[in-house]
């Protein structure tokens, strides 16, 4: 009992000193060291990505200083570093398309953004893999202060991709069905949850693997109606027997034979939307499906949609709905792992592996580094 009280007293002292230390930090950011990941040339991320430190800049004019809290590591980020993504940043540059941060200092002419605001990027190639960033205030979007950080961190990419694909190609009604491959991807897990929230049935296809039962259970906990392996889909007769209504919409992020098998099950005049190609195999469309089913084949790139709708009421309404779903606990972050910036190589090793992008999303949590450093200093 005495030991427990002693430990509790010590921990209270530690965290009190942590808070005191953070308050002091908040008063003078120019004295802080700024860590960032930098690329000087395109290539293998494990070779060209460098961890550097410099002084924190002071915002001027309409600029603000953002302290990044959490930043995503997405396939698009890896492709950007490799130089294969359609949008190429200026070099040297800091990678990272999305994240969430807090405004800790504002320039004298900054408009629409205030000290303490929680913000996400509103521009391409934001460079979110940096602890402190000075940016123009119009490059940010303010988000609700009580929205979960890990969830909102990925709202601009995978979450918005899932939302738009479900909204823009077929007028889905409650009771309609959607079929998707790559269902365990970050976008796929968002599709499942949005379908659940809107009363749309989801049929979800994943690759077979040793822990397939565990994966199926995870996706069903998110709201999936049906989860099948590719082999199980080929043998399934649920659409013919009426057990499941034929899907009006198919979502493809794999390509190859997998995409063709998914397309084979859509309804008359169904639509397949391709937004990725993880198999690196082309999408082959049987002539019979085009003629006798009158299926439509579409493509979707979230970056293009955002360019065309960056400040539109449509985008604002989408984000507001997504914020509310996150706050209500109906839209949770995909399976993920939080890592301090210093461990970025561990994420790269996993994500550039041929078996990477298998459902676990990596997030740089800048708060971890601060906590580790302060705890080690005060204990």
CATH hierarchy code of domain 156-303: 3.40.50.720
Query: Domain map of the chain by residue range?
Result: 18-154+333-351+359-378, 156-303
pLDDT at site 266: 95
29 confidence band (pLDDT: 50, 70, 90): low
User: In the predicted model, what is the mean pLDDT of residues 322-328?
Assistant: 98
> HEC states along 331-352?
CCCCCEEEECHHHHHHHHHHHC
Digit-coded pLDDT (tens) for 232-257: 999 999 998 989 999 999 999 999 99
Give the DSSP H/E element, type plus range, for residue 133. strand 132-136
pLDDT at site 161: 98
Q: What is the DSSP string of 160-229?
A: HHHHHHHHHSS---TT-EEEESSTTSHHHHHHHHHHHHHT-EEEEEE---TTHHHHHHHHHHHT-SEEEE
Digit-coded pLDDT (tens) for 105-164: 999 999 999 999 999 999 999 999 999 999 999 999 999 999 999 999 999 999 999 999
Would you give the distance in Å from CA 61 to the centre of its chain?
A: 31
Give the DSSP H/E element, type plus range, for residue 104. strand 99-106
The sheet that has 296-299: what strands, in order across it? Answer: 226-229, 201-206, 177-180, 249-252, 271-274, 296-299
Average pLDDT value for the chain:
89
Rounded CA separation 29/66 (Å): 11
Rounded CA separation 343/369 (Å): 10
**Which range, of 12-16, 76-80, 239-243, 321-325, averages the lowest pLDDT?**
12-16
CATH classification number, 18-154+333-351+359-378, choose in 3.40.190.10, 3.90.180.10, 3.30.365.10, 3.30.450.20: 3.90.180.10
- What b-and-e string marks burial along 66-80, b requiring 16 or more CB atoms within 10 Å of the CB? bbbbbbbbbbbbbeb
353 confidence band (pLDDT: 50, 70, 90): low
Active site includes 85?
yes
CB distance 179 to 266 below 8 Å: yes
Tell me the CA distances in angstroms from 132 to 108, 144, 316, 318, one per residue in order.
18, 21, 26, 28
| Burial of 133: CB neighbours in 10 Å, binned 0-12, 13-18, 19+ | buried
- Which of 85, 132, 163, 323 is flagged as catalytic? 85
């Amino acid at each position: 009992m005495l030991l427990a009280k002693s430990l509790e007293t010590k921990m209270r002292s530690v965290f009190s000193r942590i808070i005191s230390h953070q308050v002091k930090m908040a008063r003078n950011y120019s004295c802080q060291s700024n860590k960032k990941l930098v690329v000087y040339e395109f290539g293998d991320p494990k070779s060209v990505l460098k961890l550097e430190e410099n002084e924190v800049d002071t915002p001027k004019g309409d600029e603000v200083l953002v302290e990044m809290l959490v930043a995503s590591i997405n396939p698009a980020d890896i492709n950007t570093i490799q130089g294969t993504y359609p949008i190429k940043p200026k070099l040297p540059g800091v990678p990272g398309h999305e994240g969430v941060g807090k405004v800790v200092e504002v320039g004298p002419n900054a408009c629409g953004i205030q000290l303490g605001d929680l913000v996400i990027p509103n521009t391409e190639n934001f460079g979110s893999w940096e602890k402190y960033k000075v940016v123009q205030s119009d490059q940010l979007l303010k988000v609700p202060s009580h929205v979960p950080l890990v969830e909102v961190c990925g709202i601009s990419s995978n979450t918005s991709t899932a939302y738009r694909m479900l909204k823009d190609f077929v007028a889905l009604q409650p009771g309609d069905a959607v079929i998707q491959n790559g269902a365990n991807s970050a976008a796929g897990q968002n599709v499942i949850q949005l379908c659940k929230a809107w009363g749309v049935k989801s049929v979800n296809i994943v690759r077979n693997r040793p822990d397939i039962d565990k994966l199926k259970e995870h996706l069903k906990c998110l709201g999936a109606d049906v989860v099948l392996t590719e082999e199980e889909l080929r043998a399934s007769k649920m659409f013919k027997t009426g057990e499941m209504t034929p899907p009006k919409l198919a979502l493809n992020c794999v390509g190859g034979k997998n995409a063709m098998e998914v397309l084979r099950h859509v309804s008359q005049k169904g639509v397949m939307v391709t937004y990725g190609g993880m198999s690196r195999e082309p999408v082959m469309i049987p002539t019979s499906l085009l003629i006798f089913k009158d299926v439509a084949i579409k493509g979707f790139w979230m970056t293009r949609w955002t360019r065309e709708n960056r400040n539109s009421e449509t985008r604002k309404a989408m984000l507001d709905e997504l914020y509310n779903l996150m706050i209500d606990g109906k839209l949770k972050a995909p399976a993920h792992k939080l890592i301090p910036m210093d461990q970025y190589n561990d994420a790269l090793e996993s994500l550039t592996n041929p078996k990477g992008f298998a459902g676990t999303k990596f997030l740089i949590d800048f708060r971890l580094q601060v906590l580790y450093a302060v705890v080690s200093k005060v204990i």
